[in-house]
Amino acid sequence: RYSLSTSNSSIAALLCALYPHFPVHSTDNRYHLQALRHLYVLAAEPRLLVPVDVDSNIPCYVLLEVTYKGTQWYEETTEELMAPCLLPELHLLKQIKVKGPRYWEIVIDLRRGTQHLKSILSKDGVLYVKLRAGQLSYKEDPMGWRSLLAQTVTHRNSEARTFKPEAISSFTSDPALLSFADYFCKPTIDMGQ
């Protein structure tokens, strides 16, 4: 649940905890106090993000899009991670977004401050996500072939393929899919309807 920070105070705490001067024998505490060995805790910070389905209250896999801030060493970059995962250090991040067709999008904008994400990470790192209607989780359907929309489109029966384009909007909010369904799935006069 924790990872090491690279802040100055964390590095100093690690140096104190891992001071390389070893005692001469087992009862020798002159050079380094044993209590200082526990200072490594000051270098640890919570960064584990665990998505939990809000309906079933079960941890699930979610695709995250993590955007890094641009610095003098690298430009602003985006990386996709499959959560649960350890996040990079928060001061390096610009935005975290729950992405993909299966779960409703959540955007955590870190330009406004990291307090919201810090409160999530300090409380066991649980991020509640909502599964879209007709979709299955990545555990139940790793390839995405068993969702209701995929079953409707792939049936060979012509009656199963006649569906209203408006029904797709309940399964996805992707503008490309909505315009595709609007253009190609509307019945025409030539179809006898």
- Give Cα 20 distance to the centre of its chain: 38
Task: Give pLDDT, residue 120.
Answer: 82
Residue written as token pair 């995405």: 144
Contacting residues for 27 by C-beta, under 8 A, at least 6 apart: none
Please tell me the predicted confidence (pLDDT) of residue 3: 83
- pLDDT at position 167 is 64
User: Which residues does 46 contact at the CB level (< 8 Å), separation at least 6?
Assistant: 1, 2, 121, 122, 125
C-beta separation of 128 from 52 below 8 A: yes
Q: Are strands 44-46 and 62-68 parallel, antiparallel or unpaired?
A: unpaired
pTM of the model: 0.65
Note the pLDDT of residue 80.
Answer: 92
Closest CA to 67 of 80, 48, 49: 80
Predicted pLDDT at 65: 93
Q: Which two structure tokens, joined as six digits, stand for 115?
A: 């307090």
Q: What are the strands of the beta sheet with 93-99, ordered from one edge?
A: 78-83, 62-68, 93-99, 106-109
Are 108 and 115 spatial neighbours (Cβ–Cβ below 8 Å)? no
Residue 5, pLDDT score: 85
Closest CA to 105 of 178, 177, 176, 174: 174
The strand pairing partners of 192, in sequence order, are none
Q: What is the pLDDT along the chain (193 residues), one digit of tens a residue?
A: 888 888 888 888 888 888 766 667 777 666 666 777 788 888 888 889 899 988 888 899 999 999 998 888 889 999 999 989 998 888 888 899 998 888 888 888 888 877 788 888 888 888 899 888 777 777 776 666 556 555 555 555 555 455 555 666 666 667 787 788 777 776 665 555 4
